[in-house]
Amino acid sequence: MIINKKYMTTNVTFAYKATKGLISILVLLLLGCTVSEEEMPDVAEEEFNIVGVWELNEIRFFYGQKVDVLTGYDYAWNRIYDNDGTYYVAELATDDENLPLKPHELSEYFFVLSPYDTVYIERGRMTGLNIIDNHTIGIDRGDYVEILVRNDRLSDDKIEEIKEAVSNALRPKRGENTLYIVPNVSTTKNTILWIGVSSLIIIILVSAIYMMNKVKGRNKHPIKEKDAEDINGEEQNIQGFIHSDYYLALRRRLHEGPMLKPDEWRELETQMESAYPIFFRKMGDMCQLSEVELRVCMLIKLGIPPSAIAIHTCREYSSISSIRSRLYFKLFGKKGGARDLDDFIINL
């Protein structure tokens, strides 16, 4: 009995010690976890902020095609989102800093990111925004998505220069062309040249105005009066067109998608022929336009940027530039750039 009692006592003692040891281990583990969490530095996830510069990197169509808009091009599309709810769009030279900066858009945006939803409104219209990561976003344009990546290469001074250039260029009087702003570094190097060219242009303009007034004074006959009536009539048609519900819906469609269907292209041609009869007549007199050339010309006349023209005509961005250059040669029999054609069409 004494032996059994000792044996039982030994078992109880062993169980007690084992339990106590197990509890101690669990307590130490819990304390260790608590201490490690307290000692670990706070590594908070980087909060997403849309403010900054975003560079257009790729266009992804919903039917699978992807278009790289950076490789092989002299310019890259950049969007600058400001704190005050304003965004700026411009094409910036990829390599040569002496190339001109091309302003394209200045408007307002609204952005709210919550745990439940993301609200992104651009030009007063809600648009799908996919935050891929803190440095990549996708903007849904209907039939395609613009993939933009953060551009951290620009200094604060350069960003302010771009914003000022876009603001100055996109507040012209009605009928004036969009300006192309030469960067400060180029302007400084070529000040004397620009002064000389500007002086020459002023002399030519003054001479041209003088000759036009002189010819107008000599030739006041019914043909000139009829031309004036045609111009006034066309101006009224244009004003009616650009203030119509059709035009407003068309602008949103061309900028945001989806792509125009064949019957919508025919409707657009009919509407523009009514608003711009002189433009269509003169273009028809100069040469025979193909379907693609006509569509490119119509979109240029409406002030649609080349990137959107490429999308709606199912062409690469570089193809649109080639089409415009070839068409200029077709019209005038001499070499010219894509911008030369744009200037001609806008002023026609």
pLDDT in tens, 317-326: 888 888 999 9
| Cβ–Cβ under 8 Å, residues 331 and 287 | yes
Tell which wins on pLDDT, 37 or 11.
11
CA distance 24 to 28: 6
Whether the full predicted model's pTM is greater than 0.75, yes or no, is no
CA distances from 107 to 68, 121, 125, 182 (A): 26, 11, 12, 22
* Conformation bin of residue 85: beta by default, left when phi > 0, alpha when psi is -120 to 50: left
Average pLDDT, the chain: 76
| Cβ–Cβ under 8 Å, residues 183 and 100 | yes
Confidence bin at 21 (pLDDT 50/70/90): low
Residue with tokens 């106590």: 20
| Cβ–Cβ under 8 Å, residues 62 and 144 | yes
Is the confidence at residue 4, as pLDDT, over 70?
Answer: no
Is the confidence at residue 345, as pLDDT, over 80?
Answer: yes
Tell which wins on pLDDT, 34 or 277.
277
Round the CA-based radius of gyration of the chain to a whole number and report it.
33
Going by C-alpha positions, the residue among 317, 311, 273, 263 that lies closest to residue 294 is 273
CA distance 93 to 74: 6
| Cβ–Cβ under 8 Å, residues 47 and 60 | no
Tens of pLDDT, residues 158-181: 999 999 999 888 764 444 444 444
| Cβ–Cβ under 8 Å, residues 289 and 231 | no
Overall average pLDDT of the 181-207 stretch: 55
User: Which helix (H) or strand (E) covers residue 180, if one does?
Assistant: none
CA distance 164 to 80: 12
3-state secondary structure of 94: coil
Which DSSP state fits 170? Answer: T
In this structure, of 16-25, 137-146, 156-165, 291-300, the range with the lowest mean pLDDT score is 16-25
